[in-house]
Chains A and B, each alone.
Chain A
Amino acid sequence: MIAFLLLLIIAVFAGLLLHGLHRKVIARIQSRPGPPVWQEILHTLKFSFKQTWIPRTASQVMYVAIVLIAVGIWIAALWVVWTGASLLILFALYMLHKIIEHGTGLSSGSPYTKFGAIRSVMSAAAELPLLATVAIVYLFWRTLSIGEIAAFQIETQTPTILIAFPAAVSLYLIILSKAHYGPFSVIEAKELVSGYWTEHFGGWRALLNIAMGLKTVVLLSAFVLLFIGAVPWWLMIILMTILMISVSFICAVTPMLTPYQVVTIQTIWTVVVLLYAAVVWIVLYAGGILV
């Protein structure tokens, strides 16, 4: 009965801890000490109690509502992953996150956030690999229910990552594209101060941190469930941590890419995945495995 409530609270802290781990690993690779691993939790707690107001130039209702919607959609996404509901709902909630980025940026009137919002239109190219991932997962398992996909992999002893490696890379690219300080995080770039969330400060920043923490937990756990299977909870935590550290390695050693390069990489990888899907489909049809 208390399962979801407890999961929600733990997921917020776990997500922020993963973000802190992300920053720590990046720092150590760059030969500097880095912040303590619980820094993001401290930030969120500190920001909750800082003096918060609404900028005079902002669209007031929109400015507050978009932050509340951000927290709401990631709570819904956590529930989707917990109950193993349809992957398409998770897909929809991920794409709605892009709307959050636009809305957060546009609502305050500041030019920095506006440019963050404009850039996030271009980073929407990350939807292409996501669509390709969903298509391949459906092609192999003929179902879009996360719970069923996770169970099938355990039953048939074939994790999806072995049979559909390009789709796993696609979902990994999606996780990478939403990682802070990563190659695709041009929307939060330092020349825009903090990009789209510059003008959401204090309590609003704390709420956005909570939403981002939940986002990290949801995306990493979805990767494990879809591509490795319904593993026991301790193995899931270990795998999520390993995934996060691998993302941190990539974020530490890559420069920030321009929007053009971001779109190019996402589009090229989508084409690769779709070609792979087409080849597999033809093979499965010709081999008589699909009818």
Chain B
Amino acid sequence: MFEQIFEQPLFTLPFGDIVHYLSGYTVVLFAFAAMFVILAVISLPEKPVDIVFGTDGYYTKEIPVDLMKFQRFMAIACGIATIGAITTGDVFNFTLFAAFIGILNIGIVAAVKNKHVLDAAFSYGLVVMMATVPLFAGAAIIAATCGTLSIGELAVTGAAPLVARLLILVGVLGEGMAPFYIGKAEITRAPGAPYILMIHVSSLLLFLRAVEILLTV
């Protein structure tokens, strides 16, 4: 049923005609995502140290507990969305999870009371929202031309049109990869290490999964 460029899937979980699967490649991505979700669950954030401007003194900031809980919730949700994107076997599900990851990336820093971080997150979020257009356009073109959105069937029956694949690639790049990722640099200033890291983990794993999908369909 599946003819991927690597091997037969190691594990499948069918939900009707939407089949979740793990191949030898995506199991590495899944392990990484699971590890970082566990890290987000069990770690406490760091206490960021800042220099008092103009002196040699430094001060430590404590992150308020409600901010930490909010960031933790968003990070875990982002991690679960990443796991969904990694395991899904349906192109439209993948694009939905990609959009979801984009929204949650901003959500992780949404409660930080730092204007600079919030400005950067706003710009980053605008790019993410704009990138959902090519994402869904690509999925729609695949559905229209091939008649199916299942990755397994697309791998066997027909090649998805190149324009659809390029649109999905641009959409995934817009979810936080080069060259649309520069807002992420300023977002990283926000406190809360395990949760901010989930922003990077999710965009990266999404892109890696997208590469596999685009080579398979």
Direct contact of A and B (CB under 8 A): yes
Interface size on B, as a range, is 35 or more
Contact flag A92-B193 (CB < 8 Å), given A57-B60, A124-B178: no
Residues of A whose CB lies within 8 Å of any CB of B are 56-63, 65, 69, 76, 85-86, 88-89, 91-93, 95-96, 98-99, 102-103, 106-111, 114, 117-119, 121-122, 124-125, 127-128, 131, 134, 138, 143-144, 263, 266-267
Query: How far in angstroms is the closest Cβ of chain A from B18?
Result: 24
Task: Give A127 to B42 CA distance when docked, in angstroms.
Answer: 30
Given contact pairs A57-B46, A99-B204, A128-B179, a sample of 19 additional A-B residue pairs in the complex whose CB atoms are under 8 Å apart: A57-B49, A59-B43, A59-B194, A62-B39, A62-B194, A76-B28, A88-B208, A88-B215, A98-B204, A99-B36, A99-B197, A107-B46, A108-B46, A109-B47, A118-B185, A118-B189, A121-B188, A124-B181, A266-B178
Task: Give A82 to B177 CA distance when docked, in angstroms.
Answer: 29
Contact flag A102-B48 (CB < 8 Å), given A89-B25, A118-B188: no
Instruction: List residues 174-217 of chain B with CB under 8 A from any CB of chain A.
Output: 177-179, 181-182, 184-186, 188-189, 193-194, 196-197, 200-201, 204, 207-208, 211-212, 215
Does B29 have its Cβ within 8 Å of any Cβ on chain A? Answer: yes
Q: Which A residue sits closest to B188, measured CB to CB? A: A118
Q: Which B residue sits closest to A65, measured CB to CB? A: B39
Which residue of A60, A86, A109, A128 contacts B6 across the interface (Cβ within 8 Å)? A86
Q: Which A residue sits closest to B7, measured CB to CB? A: A86
Does B9 have its Cβ within 8 Å of any Cβ on chain A? Answer: no
Residues of B whose CB lies within 8 Å of any CB of A are 5-6, 24-25, 28-29, 32, 35-36, 39, 42-51, 60, 177-179, 181-182, 184-186, 188-189, 193-194, 196-197, 200-201, 204, 207-208, 211-212, 215
Among A85, A103, A106, A267, chain B packs the most CB atoms within 10 A around the CB of A106
Task: Give A114 to B186 CA distance when docked, in angstroms.
Answer: 11
Contact flag A106-B51 (CB < 8 Å), given A88-B212, A127-B177, A128-B178: no
Query: How far in angstroms is the closest Cβ of chain A from B209?
Result: 9
Task: Give A60 to B81 CA distance when docked, in angstroms.
Answer: 26
Task: Give A65 to B36 CA distance when docked, in angstroms.
Answer: 10
Which residue of A98, A122, A131 contacts B182 across the interface (Cβ within 8 Å)? A122
Contact flag A95-B44 (CB < 8 Å), given A103-B193, A106-B193: no
